[in-house]
Amino acid sequence: MQEHKNMLIRREFIRTGLGGALAVSADLHARGRSGDGRSPFDADLIPAPDSPREWPAFRPQLAEWRTRKRAEIGYDDSLYRRADLTWAASSFACCFTMLCDEEFYSPEQARYLVQTWLDAGEREFGGYDSLVLWHAYPRIGVDSRNQFDMYRDMPGGLRGLRGVVDLLHRRNVKAYIDYNPWDTGTRREGKSDIDALADLVGEIDADGIFLDTMSQGAAEFRAKLDGTKPGVVLEGEIALPLEKIHDHHLSWAQQFRDSRVPGILRNKWFERRHMQHQIRRWQHDHTAELHTAWMNGSGVLVWENVFGSWVGWNPRDKSMLRSMLPVQRRYAHLFTGGQWTPLVETKAADVYAGLWEGDGMRLWTLVNRSERTVKGPLLSIEPSEGEQYLDLIGGNEVKAAREGGKAVLKGSIAPRGIAGFLARKAGDRREGGGEFFRRQAEGLARASGSAQFPSRKTVTRPAPVVSPRPSAPVGMAAIDAVDYDRDSVYQVRECGQLTSMDYTPGRGHDRIRTPVAIRRKARLARYAIDLAPVTNGEYARFLRSSGYRPRHPENFLKHWQARAPPAGKEDHPVAYVDLEDARAYAKWAGKRLPTELEWQYAAEGPAGLLYPWGNEMRPGRCNGGEGGGTTPVRAFPDGRSPFGCYDMCGNTWEWTESECSDGRTRFAMLKGGSWYKAEGSKWYTDGGPQAGRFGMKFLLMWPGLDRCATVGFRCATPLAEGG
């Protein structure tokens, strides 16, 4: 089969007149998404011929293809000429920002850390041109709140987000909101998603919409956004078709595989002002993305906190991006206009270069594909009278050697590194003199060659110390000490498992919804656990007795009226309480929350049952959502666990004392499942009744978002040994 594909590729190269470009590896073309017989120019990243002898023939073919395609499509570039939309062409560095990231929002200070975040971005990566403000996934689906509700429930609501965007704009950074088109199973807005998005853009003054899981937005997006505010752009996650470049100013170049000789980004070649952000989110080595961006005058997506999984950039790759971005921003007019000559010949093996010309300047971008340092002659170019040569990465002037009438530029490129040269008329001061080059030299001096992954340690918050009781209080089940040695089951999702996921690079999505069992071993001391979840009525008594008022009241007991439980639901499990609200009740009661393993053992019993009542799901044993809401906590006596505990499957999820953080992501484990299950998409979080061994890693942010309609709790307490 593969040989047949390779044959088709060879035939296509002959048909399109590439001639000597047959030297291009057929296997590389197959990997470039052209192995189905389509033209290699249809690949998202057009693979390049291996031999420099074929490059002069390859470049005219690229130009001819672009001319032909523009004519076929009837391409109209008017939106790229609109002044309010031109910013997108130079938005080289975009940061995918989890709003719950502890370095972006501080739970302790209860405020967004926008300035700190941007300062760190400048220090570590060279600064951001735009941020994707990510909010819903992987949390969405735990209750009926939709993606727009989840923006409304961020700290400070939409006004708080408007403040975030205002601060970004003061630093000349653009802001995207996120659109999840698959969110069709939660609460509806009463208007179209496009109208809701346009309203949201206007309310927080956003600059763009990131189209999650989409290659393109509907045609009506443009008119709706133009009616909201000037300069709003669309950027999709999936490779953008040529036919939609005219009204999508940016797109992701996600998981594009390059040829050995650097290939050409199809969409960037088609429209020089179209910005593509290179992204391979699970990689620990980003040099492939950086090379593609550097050789194509395009951008990079910085994404370290991948939905709660830490995939940090190493020092080498950060250093490379810090060197690239100032050049790309300073000479954006060359990368988005003028003349681009892909693949000019170099003087060093494994080193490849492209040429950008305009405004009386010539600029070369070079990459070293090898794992060794390359030193010495790099380029041989036609000299020009009175021309000065500058090292754009090192920040110094280069004295060209003369060789056979050519000017030879020498330098050094680190393994998998980059280089850049600028030729301009000596004394040309249009760009501010030597300050730029001084900063580049300083940046190179502090650059690192280390490719070591910057791992983070996940720390578990200690459970509160509670004095042991001699025996189980009324309403609690006593459980003897046990050497716990069992499996806990988690759903493989991009937010990771207990600490972080060991993802195979490039295999994030295809492992979602795969259950994995992790063996857990621990000594559980003797303890008691509530026979039933804490009810609305019990929580009301706590409030009257303690006078408890949460620091942040947003969504606290949202379903209550006048600080009283809904009539007739006093014996339903309390919900709309966050982890601190649950801890406050437990402390008042002289108890604490159960640990995850204590909860699981109480649900499974000594025999390790799959469900509290046995090893099969059976009707009438739990609240599976048939009534569309919660039920009394003792409504299913036949569903009790071996220790007599009610509602350990369905009704509401339950908090456990399992808060963890790696300094960027806080989370806690929820147990038991709930009556609610969002249907229609695999991207929703886990819902419905769950087995006792199942745990959901629940990302934490702040009380207004963490309080959910389907999450409650029960308490536990240590018991004295031998009681």
Amino acid residing at 281? R
Full domain range(s) for residue 67? 2-73
* Peptide bond preceding 138 in cis form (omega within 30 of 0): yes
pLDDT classification of 515: cutoffs 50, 70, 90: confident
Please choose, from the candidates 89, 36, 40, 37, the residue with its C-alpha nearest in 3D space to the C-alpha of residue 62. 40
Q: Average of pLDDT values for 62-82?
A: 98
Question: Is residue 706 assigned to a domain?
Answer: yes
Would you state the structure tokens that stand for residue 67, as one six-digit string? 């001319």
Question: Is residue 334 assigned to a domain?
Answer: no
Confidence (pLDDT) at 31? 35
Is residue 571 located within the same domain as residue 698? Answer: yes
- What would the DSSP string read from start to end of 505-566? TT-SGGGTTEEEEEEEEEEE--EEEESSPPBHHHHHHHHHHH----SS-TTTTTT-BTTBPP
**What SS3 class is residue 19?**
helix
Lowest model confidence (mean pLDDT) among 509-523, 557-571, 581-595, 630-644: 509-523
Confidence (pLDDT) at 15? 35
HEC sequence for 568-628: CCCCCECCCCCHHHHHHHHHHCCCECCCHHHHHHHHHCCCCCCECCECCCCCCCCECCCCC
pLDDT classification of 428: cutoffs 50, 70, 90: confident
Residue 436, classified by CB atoms within 10 Å of its CB into exposed (0-12), middle (13-18) or buried (19+), is middle
Amino acid residing at 461? R
pLDDT classification of 104: cutoffs 50, 70, 90: very high
Q: What percent of the chain has pLDDT over 70?
A: 92
Q: Average of pLDDT values for 680-696?
A: 96
End-to-end Cα separation, the chain, in angstroms: 71
Structural element, H or E, at residue 499: none
3-state helix, strand, coil in the chain (%, to 5): 30, 25, 45
pLDDT, tens only, 234-265:
999 999 999 999 999 999 999 999 999 999 99
Question: Is residue 336 assigned to a domain?
Answer: no
pLDDT, tens only, 285-325:
999 999 999 999 999 999 999 999 999 999 999 999 999 99
Residue 38 sits at φ, ψ, to 5 deg, of -70, 165
Half-sphere exposure of 308 (CA within 13 A, CB side): 27
- Whichever domain contains 655, its CATH number is 3.90.1580.10
pLDDT, tens only, 201-217:
999 999 999 999 999 99
Is residue 211 located within the same domain as residue 95? Answer: yes
Confidence (pLDDT) at 514? 81
Report the C-alpha gap between 217 and 331 in whole angstroms. 30
Is residue 58 located within the same domain as residue 95? Answer: no
Is residue 558 located within the same domain as residue 636? Answer: yes
Angle (nearest 5°) at CA 243 between 239 and 248? 65
Confidence (pLDDT) at 433? 61
Q: Answer yes or no: are the C-beta atoms of 324 and 117 closer than 8 Å.
A: no
Report the C-alpha gap between 676 and 166 in whole angstroms. 37
Question: Is residue 104 assigned to a domain?
Answer: yes
pLDDT beyond 50 at 12: no
Would you state the structure tokens that stand for residue 719, as one six-digit string? 């018991």
Report the C-alpha gap between 76 and 70 in whole angstroms. 8
pLDDT, tens only, 163-182:
999 999 999 999 999 999 99
Q: Are strands 45-46 and 250-254 parallel, antiparallel or unpaired?
A: unpaired
Confidence (pLDDT) at 426? 84
In terms of phi and psi (left: phi > 0; alpha: psi -120 to 50; beta: otherwise), the region of 442 is alpha
Is residue 594 located within the same domain as residue 479? Answer: yes
Q: Are strands 208-211 and 233-236 parallel, antiparallel or unpaired?
A: parallel
Residue 720 neighbours by CB under 8 Å, 6+ apart: 468, 469, 470, 526
Please choose, from the candidates 326, 279, 329, 277, the residue with its C-alpha nearest in 3D space to the C-alpha of residue 304. 279
Is residue 100 located within the same domain as residue 219? Answer: yes
Query: Which of residues 254, 288, 321 is at a domain's end?
Result: 254
Is residue 530 located within the same domain as residue 628? Answer: yes
Please choose, from the candidates 576, 498, 592, 573, the residue with its C-alpha nearest in 3D space to the C-alpha of residue 535. 573
pLDDT beyond 80 at 499: no
pLDDT classification of 5: cutoffs 50, 70, 90: very low
Residue 340, classified by CB atoms within 10 Å of its CB into exposed (0-12), middle (13-18) or buried (19+), is buried
Question: Is residue 422 assigned to a domain?
Answer: no
- Whichever domain contains 111, its CATH number is 3.20.20
Amino acid residing at 431? E
pLDDT classification of 511: cutoffs 50, 70, 90: low
CA distances from 117 to 218, 228, 382, 456 (A): 33, 28, 45, 18
Confidence (pLDDT) at 434? 85
Q: Are strands 130-134 and 93-98 parallel, antiparallel or unpaired?
A: parallel
Is residue 42 located within the same domain as residue 170? Answer: no
114-118 contacts at long range (C-beta below 8 A, 24 or more positions apart): 114/164, 114/167, 114/168, 115/167, 115/171, 118/168, 118/171, 118/173
pTM: 0.93
Confidence (pLDDT) at 432? 59
Question: Is residue 236 assigned to a domain?
Answer: yes
Report the C-alpha gap between 196 and 423 in whole angstroms. 50
Question: Is residue 262 assigned to a domain?
Answer: no
Q: Average of pLDDT values for 335-342?
A: 96
Report the C-alpha gap between 499 and 460 in whole angstroms. 10
Confidence (pLDDT) at 497? 58
Is residue 487 located within the same domain as residue 528? Answer: yes
Q: Average of pLDDT values for 579-585?
A: 98
Question: Is residue 536 assigned to a domain?
Answer: yes
More confident residue, 30 or 339: 339
Indicate the DSSP class of residue 55.
H
CA 208 remoteness from chain centre: 16
Q: Answer yes or no: are the C-beta atoms of 667 and 700 closer than 8 Å.
A: yes
pLDDT beyond 50 at 278: yes
HEC sequence for 393-420: CCCEEECCEEECCEEEEEEEECCCCEEE
Confidence (pLDDT) at 507? 45
Is residue 15 located within the same domain as residue 91? Answer: no
Is residue 496 located within the same domain as residue 567? Answer: yes
Query: Which of residues 200, 222, 254 is at a domain's end?
Result: 254
Q: Average of pLDDT values for 553-581?
A: 97
**What SS3 class is residue 225?**
helix
Amino acid residing at 129? D
Is residue 549 located within the same domain as residue 626? Answer: yes
pLDDT beyond 70 at 116: yes
Q: What is the mean pLDDT of the chain?
A: 92
Query: Which of residues 218, 238, 254 is at a domain's end?
Result: 254
Confidence (pLDDT) at 701? 96
Number of folded domains that form the chain: 3
pLDDT beyond 60 at 115: yes
